[in-house]
């Protein structure tokens, strides 16, 4: 049997969600059944799946250790290549990393283990003694923002549960400004705010406008228009999947190179001329506002990629639009 003491990294969550992280090979229905059968208790008392765990609570698992081990998958440290870890900023609570185009943020399947940014980051922390899995059985360092596979730019990684909660709350309150740069088809003449409601498109890995979707707000600011294209600066107000890509497509100014939401003929021409294979979208700047208690040292700090226009394709492409 196991008796797990709830610490700062594990508090303030439902019992079943805590157990799904600890017994990560067990399904939700199995875990809820064990709770109903009183094989899992809190402070040696009957609990419900929805029981909220507090600091100092003890989760009692009345199973043989062999069974518990069968229900847990503990990832071992592998000899990963850390060349993809580009640190823009780092402290005891968080890191700001640069993600290159073509690199997964999270594993989409077991085959992706070790090939995505999060696994590389977690293993880096383990090797450097900044994260010790056995001391934090239900928390793993995590990102609080996300980027598509072929979008490059800045991503925030949290080293502990408290920081993750606080940054997620700051994002919800819109106290972290996320700025992007992109080039779109057509000439955008003025600043504008695009407001949509969007949802997932059937079984496809795409989003669409729908009446029962989630609110989606994007601010765009044209920098320069030339030769039928526009360089845009973008402020992401909400953070929905494919938000920028769908929003720009909906106003008939799709991102160049975007194979899901873009214009096929435009993309083919740019591929033939410049070798552009994917959407030209860069998360180039993060600006922190009034942060939660304990993270006030980040107030009004700004982090950006020093030179967002780099690489041969970008230099050739942007050279046609304006002088750098």
Class for domain 86-168, per CATH? alpha beta
What would the CATH number be for the domain defined by 2-70?
3.10.290.10
Please report, for the chain, how many H helices and E strands are present, in that order.
Answer: 8, 14
Residue 28: its H or E element? helix 28-36
Same fold for the domain at 2-70 and the one at 86-168?
no
In the residue annotation, 148 being an active-site residue is answered as yes
CATH class of 175-319: alpha beta
Burial label for 172, CB within 10 Å (0-12, 13-18, 19+), is: exposed
Token readout for 176 is 């972290």
Quote the pLDDT of residue 324.
37
The per-residue pLDDT for 307 is: 66
Q: pTM score, two decimals?
A: 0.76
- What is the percent of the chain where pLDDT is above 90? 63
Report how far residue 190's alpha carbon sits from residue 177's, in angstroms, rounded to the nearest whole number. Answer: 21
Q: Which residues are within 8 A (CB) of 7 and not within 5 positions of it... i.e. 6 or more apart?
A: 55, 136
Indicate which residue of 57, 148, 212, 272 is catalytic.
Answer: 148
Q: Is the pLDDT of residue 79 over 80?
A: no
Among 14-23, 125-134, 241-250, 303-312, the range scoring the smallest mean pLDDT is 303-312
**69-78, 293-302, 313-322: range with lowest mean pLDDT:** 313-322
> What residues does each domain of the chain span?
2-70, 86-168, 175-319
């Amino acid at each position: 049997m196991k008796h797990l003491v709830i610490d700062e990294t594990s508090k303030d969550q439902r019992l079943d969600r805590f157990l799904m992280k600890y017994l990560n090979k067990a399904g939700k229905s199995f875990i809820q059944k064990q709770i109903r059968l009183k094989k899992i208790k809190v402070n040696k008392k009957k609990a419900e799946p929805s029981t909220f765990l507090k600091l100092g609570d003890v989760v009692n698992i009345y199973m043989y250790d062999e069974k518990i081990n069968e229900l847990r998958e503990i990832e071992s440290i592998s000899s990963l290549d850390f060349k993809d870890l580009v640190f823009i900023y780092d402290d005891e609570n968080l890191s700001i990393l640069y993600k290159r185009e073509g690199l997964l943020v999270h594993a989409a399947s077991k085959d992706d283990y070790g090939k995505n940014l999060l696994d590389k980051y977690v293993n880096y922390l383990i090797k450097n003694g900044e994260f010790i899995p056995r001391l934090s059985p239900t928390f793993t360092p995590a990102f609080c923002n996300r980027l598509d596979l072929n979008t490059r730019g800045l991503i925030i990684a949290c080293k502990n549960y408290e920081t993750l909660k606080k940054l997620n709350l700051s994002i919800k309150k819109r106290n972290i400004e996320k700025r992007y740069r992109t080039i779109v088809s057509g000439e955008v003449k003025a600043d504008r705010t695009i407001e949509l409601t969007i949802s997932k498109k059937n079984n496809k890995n795409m989003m669409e406008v729908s009446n029962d979707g989630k609110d989606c707000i994007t601010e765009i600011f044209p920098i320069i228009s030339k030769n039928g294209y526009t360089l845009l600066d973008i402020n992401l107000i909400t953070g929905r999947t494919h938000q920028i890509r769908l929003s720009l497509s909906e106003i008939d100014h799709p991102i160049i190179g975007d194979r899901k939401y873009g214009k096929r003929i435009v993309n083919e021409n740019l591929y033939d001329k410049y070798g552009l294979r994917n959407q030209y979208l860069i998360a180039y700047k993060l600006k922190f506002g009034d942060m939660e208690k304990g993270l006030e040292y980040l107030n009004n700090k700004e982090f950006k990629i020093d030179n967002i226009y780099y690489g041969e394709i970008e230099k050739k492409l942007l050279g046609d639009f304006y002088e750098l």
